[in-house]
Amino acid sequence: MRKQRNRVLQAITGLCVLMLLGACATMQARSVSKSGFLGDYSQLKEGGDGKALLVYIDPKADIKSYTRIIVDPVKLYASSENSMENVSLDDRKKLLNYADAALREHLAKNYTLVREPGPGVMRLRFALTETDSSYVALDTVSTVLPVGLALAGLQTAATGSCSFVGSAGAEAELQDSQTGKRLMAAVDRQVGGKVTGKGDKFDEWHTVKNAIDLWAERLQTRLAEQRAK
């Protein structure tokens, strides 16, 4: 009887854990609009399962030949209605700094991060995008911080009526650092429910944080796949 009770308790505990994890998770949106950050979108096609909504990979690119990478400051593109105006410049930077730190942390596992173009050096351009309407580029870019410090900053960001609470978009492009030739590009959007913790200001930023984590991990995975070919 006691063993059966313990199994029931374990099952209930496991279900609660899954519910908590599900509350923080994001899922891919059905569609995404283009912010203008990438400029030319004509090469991008539907990504398919497990990939960004729109994807381009140069079939002739020799990704194995690249061992170093420049990460440009992360930029922010918001809607022309611009609910990000309700978020302070300082909090916008905290958001972009976390994106920058997450990308660098994942890329540093396989690449040397550098600042100057050269042979065997890729350049990553990355932007967070706010909503599915006409966009404007905000005068906000990331600075380089360790991921722990960037996360601590995001946890102190104030709440506000920001569409990043429920969804977050991103556009990314990898170029040859010397020629500017596009090697890979992607456009994606993730959506998620608001976490309902009490008194935790960071709850409202969980969707965008989880989306950033997903994109950083997915970029690392795609590059590994291309190097394995």
Q: 171: closest CA among 180, 161, 184?
A: 184
Buried b (16+ CB within 10 A) or exposed e, 112-135: eebeebeebbbbbbbbbbbbbeeb
Q: What is the pTM of this model?
A: 0.76
Decide: 98 and 155 in contact? Cβ < 8 Å.
Answer: no
- pLDDT more than 90, % of the chain: 42
113-116 CB contacts, 8 Å cutoff, 24+ apart: 113/68, 113/69, 113/70, 113/71, 114/68, 114/69, 114/70, 115/70, 116/70
- Confidence class for position 203, pLDDT limits 50, 70, 90: low
CATH number of 26-227: 3.30.160
> Is the model's pLDDT at 6 over the cut of 60?
no
Decide: 208 and 151 in contact? Cβ < 8 Å.
Answer: no
Q: What is the dihedral of CA 173, 228, 99, 133, to 10 degrees?
A: 40
Specify the pLDDT at position 73.
95
- Confidence class for position 191, pLDDT limits 50, 70, 90: confident
Q: 77: closest CA among 150, 140, 157?
A: 140
Average pLDDT of the segment spanning 215-224: 95
Residue at 12: amino acid letter: I
Beta strands 167-176 and 182-191: pairing type?
antiparallel
pLDDT tens figures, 37-77: 999 999 999 887 778 899 999 999 999 999 999 999 999 88
- Confidence class for position 202, pLDDT limits 50, 70, 90: very low
∠ CA 15-21-25 to the nearest 5 degrees?
A: 140
Domain residue extents for the chain: 26-227
Cβ neighbours, 10 Å, residue 56: 22
Specify the pLDDT at position 49.
79
Average pLDDT of the segment spanning 171-193: 92
> Is the model's pLDDT at 195 over the cut of 60?
no
